[in-house]
Amino acid sequence: MALVRWNPATEIDAFRRQMDRLFDEMTGDRALTPQWGQLPLELNDAGNNLELKAQVPGINPDDLDVTVNRDSVTISGEYRRENEAQNSYGSEFQYGKFSRTIGLPVGIQQDQVQADYNNGILTLHLPKVEEAANKKVKINFGDQQAIAGSSGQS
C-alpha cells in the first residue's frame, strides 16, 4: 500500500470548482436577463395610449392570459412541451407557468384595451384615462346666475 500525501487546499479548490459549475448550470447566461417567470417587457408612452410589449416567443396565444386593471397589467401563461413522449438528451428550454404584473404610471381605460400577437411579441394598446378638462360651472344665486371663473355676472 502506497502512502499519498493529502493536500486540503486541493480538495477545497476542487469543491469550489464543482460549486461554480453547479451555479453556472442553474443560472446559465441569464445573469443580466429577467429571471425565469419574468417576461421581458417594454412600456412606451404613445400619446393618448400606453404601449406594452412582452416577449413570449414560441407560445400559443391560447395559452396567454391578460388581466387589465386601471393601474396595472398582469400577463400569465404556460410554456408547454410539444411532445412529452420523446426521449431527450438535454434541453435548455424552459417549460411551465409564468406570470408578470407591471404597475402603470397613469390610469387606463381597461374596457378599451386592444391586444395583438405577432412573431412572439404580445403588444397591448392601453388607452389613457382622459383627464377632466377645466370647465366653467354656473352658480345660481337666487334670481342671479354667475359663471365660476369669470369676473362678470350674467
Q: Domains plus CATH for the chain? A: 37-81+93-132 (2.60.40.790)
For residue 68, the model assigns a pLDDT of: 94
For residue 73, the model assigns a pLDDT of: 94
Which tens digit of pLDDT belongs to each residue from 52-80?
A: 999 998 888 888 999 999 899 999 998 88
Confidence of residue 95 (pLDDT cuts 50, 70, 90): confident
Summarize the chain as % helix, strand, coil (round to 5): 20, 35, 45
**Total residues found in the chain within this entry:** 154
CA 127: distance to chain centroid? Answer: 18
For residue 146, the model assigns a pLDDT of: 54
- The C-alpha cell of 106 is what? 397613469
Dihedral class, residue 28 (left if φ above 0, else alpha if ψ from -120 to 50, else beta): left
- The C-alpha cell of 153 is what? 355676472
Q: Determine if the pTM surpasses 0.95.
A: no
